[in-house]
Amino acid sequence: MSTAVIVEAPGEHRVVPHEPREPGPGEALVAVHAVGICGSDRELYQGNRPEGYVRYPLTPGHEWSGTVRAVGAGVPDSLVGRKVVGEGFRNCQVCDRCHAGETTLCTAGYEETGFTRPGAMATTLTLPARLLHALPDAADLTAAALLEPAACVAAAALKADARPGERVAVVGTGTLGMFAVQFLRAISPAELLVVGTRDDREALSRRFGATDFRTKDQPLPDDFDVVVETAGSASAARTAASLLRRGGRLVLTGIPAPGAEGLDPTDLVVRQLAVHTVFGAPPDAWAHTVRVFGAGLLEPLPLVTHRLPLTQFSRAIELVGSGDPKVGKVLLRP
């Protein structure tokens, strides 16, 4: 039977029968293969998501992969049968920011699949076809379910503008951190340092291309050209800034709790640091991610530790928030 998860309100959910919605003009109907759980899904379930960035009742699911089953008027029939992933931000396409390709800054307001619009924790998902990115025919759809967080990291890598031969570092060893290592490895850095809190992430970091690994309580350098922060805490942001040489480039991707003590503006100015931030992924980052994935330069599967049926949504949420070092990316299969 087709099913979907509905979060009625914080802490309240049901698994209900699901009826696919036929695609209207410009839309596509996708059979969902797998959907990932991340910290923002846990925030949604707990009620910690900032006001205006969630709308209940809701079917969650913004990290997903699937196969196009039907298309509406105005969408090429050749898309039917293709393996796809999809952008989450439902941008207006007519404001200045959208025209500039900065769709995550759409001035029409925030709308995103899985947060304010129905997401992929269902047997099918119907969405605007313009948001889809087609994958190679031989693509592994389980691995592809992780391309949304990968695209967010790709946005960070593009903003960092790291160049071959530069010294680069990543702070954080979760899913985002491991993708950051893979993207930065591809630009042939002179050094690629990973800084984390757990020694057990060293082997995986080195597998993905790190040349050095340290925990944050070990002596750390202060002369790197580029640092990408992925840990989502204020202390991680400060650690990331401390790794940089004067004039270095910092990209923050994690979202600390509201009111967290931030970076020292005096330090930023005196050291002339360039600071960028990432919230979501615009189309160029998605296209870059799909291209790199298709070329075999991303390894998402080693990050997956649990695969559960959709009916075990509550168990998946528990795993993500357990703090168990053995829990990596958790996938649900409709």
Neighbours of 132 (CB within 10 A): 21
User: What residues contact residue 262 under an 8 Å CB cut-off, 6+ apart?
Assistant: 234, 237
Q: For the residues 216-245, what does the mean pLDDT come to?
A: 95
- Global pTM reads 0.94
Widest Cα–Cα separation across the chain: 61
Residues 30 and 124: their CA atoms lie apart, in Å, by 5
For residue 54, is pLDDT > 80? yes
Considering the chain, what percentage of its residues have pLDDT values greater than 70? 100
Q: What are phi and psi of 139, to 5 degrees?
A: -60, 145
Residues 171 and 173: their CA atoms lie apart, in Å, by 7
Q: For the residues 15-22, what does the mean pLDDT come to?
A: 96
**pLDDT tens digits for range 112-140:** 999 999 999 999 999 999 999 999 999 99
pLDDT for res 51: 86
Percentages helix, strand, coil for the chain, rounded to the nearest 5? 30, 30, 40
**pLDDT tens digits for range 82-119:** 999 999 999 999 999 999 999 999 999 999 999 999 99
